[in-house]
Amino acid sequence: MTKYAPTKKFTFGLWTVGNTGADPFGDSVRKKKSPVELVHLLAEVGAYGVNFHDNDLVPIDATPAERDQIVSDFKKALKETGLVVPMATTNLFASPIFKDGAFTANDPKVRAYALQKTMNAIDLGVECGAKIYVFWGGREGTESDATKDPVTAIKRNREAMNFLTEYVIDQGYDLRFALEAKPNEPRGNIYNATTGNMLAFIETLDHPEMVGVNPEVAHEHMAGLNFTHHVAQALEAGKLWHIDLNDQAFGRYDQDFRFGMVNLKSAFFLVKLLEDYNYEGPLHYDAHAMRTEDYEGVKDFARGCMRTYMILKEKAEMFNADPEIQALLAEINAEDPEMDAFFGPYSREKAIALKNHGFDRCGIAKRGLKYERLDQLTNEIILGVR
């Protein structure tokens, strides 16, 4: 097998490699490909799986007969290529009916339609083998807070999640939900703006055990936040069930660049975290090729996403095996037996002993931590000179 071959569960949405390059200022630059063609393209570049929104596969106005034909063609392509569908989701943002949101829209007809559309989309996803169902509430927000009460919005969102988890249980589906946060775009402000917000929201649901998160690199970066820390919180809580990898310059428009294209060092720490903690879920590239590319460029984009991950995985292994780095880490993290008595579960005796202990505050603060050396060594691993 060639070096850096894509051996992980790398997946792409139909909407990612199928993106035709239109933006708010310009038309499509690539001819639209069918789902079947995209499955074959993904097989060619070595992907493991493909994800979709209901309407990436079945147009919103398809007849039941058309739907069945499309699904059967798609399944045939999966069978031919060996690709799987680990995740599916609902398009609750493109149709004008969702201009004021879906589950949080002020119009009850819109909220009810959003539930109906999602139940149908869940059926479609499960039929194609999906085990994870993503919820990205791109339109769940406001441009002006005069228009919607934010507490009411939280309650509407919760009611929708509770209804849909019950639907999944009622159908006997083997399906878990993953909630994806984003701070803005396409709404001026989107509710539950970060992965941390989502983790808190999940604990208020009727079935928190069925709901985890799907963090996306670009979405935390858009808010100027450290993505790796958000992923760590989800991992530690046992809630990292899916992840959207891409890249994004801080403070810019929603860019959806190839993984590692802008912030290589953040990408390194992310891959290291996922590998160190044995994340085994899908690694989904929610990104698209630059508008300058034809479909050969789309393949370069997809191969690049996966290859960068595999290279950074190797770099993380080098970091973990580097004697100088490991010696520095051991020194930094050295325990002090004298302090052991103060940690662990609370007791009144412990509290009294700790209050009476004398600390050499200035002496302790004098110690240099050698983080400059450690970070430079990290850079040299990433730069390939170590």
Residues in the site for ligand GLT, rule: CB under 6 A?
15, 53, 89, 134, 136, 138, 180, 216, 244, 286
- Angstrom distance (rounded) from CA 191 to CA 349: 46
Least distance in angstroms from the C-beta of 168 to Mn ion: 21
Provide the 10 A C-beta neighbour count for residue 86.
Answer: 20
Cβ-based nearer residue to Mn ion, 186 or 208: 186
Question: Which one of the listed residues 53, 219, 242, 288 is annotated catalytic?
Answer: 53
Q: Specify the stretch interacting with Mn ion by CB under 5 A; choose among 76-84, 281-289, 355-363, 369-377.
A: 281-289
Cβ-based nearer residue to ligand GLT, 216 or 220: 216
Cβ-based nearer residue to Mn ion, 162 or 184: 184
Least distance in angstroms from the C-beta of 383 to ligand GLT: 31
- Angstrom distance (rounded) from CA 165 to CA 350: 45
Active site residue 56: yes
- Angstrom distance (rounded) from CA 191 to CA 84: 32
Answer for which of 286, 301, 305, 378 binds Mn ion (CB under 5 A) is: 286
Q: Specify the stretch interacting with Mn ion by CB under 5 A; choose among 14-22, 220-228, 237-245, 366-374.
A: 237-245
Residue 258 DSSP symbol: P
Least distance in angstroms from the C-beta of 375 to ligand GLT: 31
Overall size of the chain counted in residues:
386
Cβ-based nearer residue to ligand GLT, 12 or 319: 12
Establish if 244 lies at the interface with Mn ion (CB under 5 A): yes
- Strand runs labelled E in the chain: 10-13, 49-53, 87-89, 132-136, 141-142, 176-180, 189-190, 211-213, 243-245, 283-285
Least distance in angstroms from the C-beta of 191 to ligand GLT: 15
Least distance in angstroms from the C-beta of 144 to ligand GLT: 23
Instruction: Look at residue 134 and give the partner it binds from ligand GLT, Mn ion, none, a contact being a CB closer than 5 to 8 Å depending on partner kind.
Output: ligand GLT
Question: Which one of the listed residues 23, 27, 54, 56 is annotated catalytic?
Answer: 56
Instruction: Look at residue 15 and give the partner it binds from Mn ion, ligand GLT, none, a contact being a CB closer than 5 to 8 Å depending on partner kind.
Output: ligand GLT
SS3 130: coil
What angle, 0 to 180 degrees and rounded to 10, lies between the N-to-C axes of helices 295-321 and 35-45? Answer: 40
Instruction: Look at residue 89 and give the partner it binds from Mn ion, ligand GLT, none, a contact being a CB closer than 5 to 8 Å depending on partner kind.
Output: ligand GLT
Provide the token pair at 309: 């991950």
Establish if 216 lies at the interface with Mn ion (CB under 5 A): yes
Which of 243, 292, 252, 249 shows the shortest CA–CA distance to 271?
243
Active site residue 230: no
DSSP string over 296-357 = HHHHHHHHHHHHHHHHHHHHHHHHHH-HHHHHHHHHHT---GGGGGGSSS--HHHHHHHHH-
Asked if residue 186 has a cis previous peptide bond (ω within 30° of 0), the answer is: yes
The set of catalytic residues is: 53, 56
Q: Which residues contact Mn ion (rule: CB under 5 A)? A: 216, 218, 244, 286
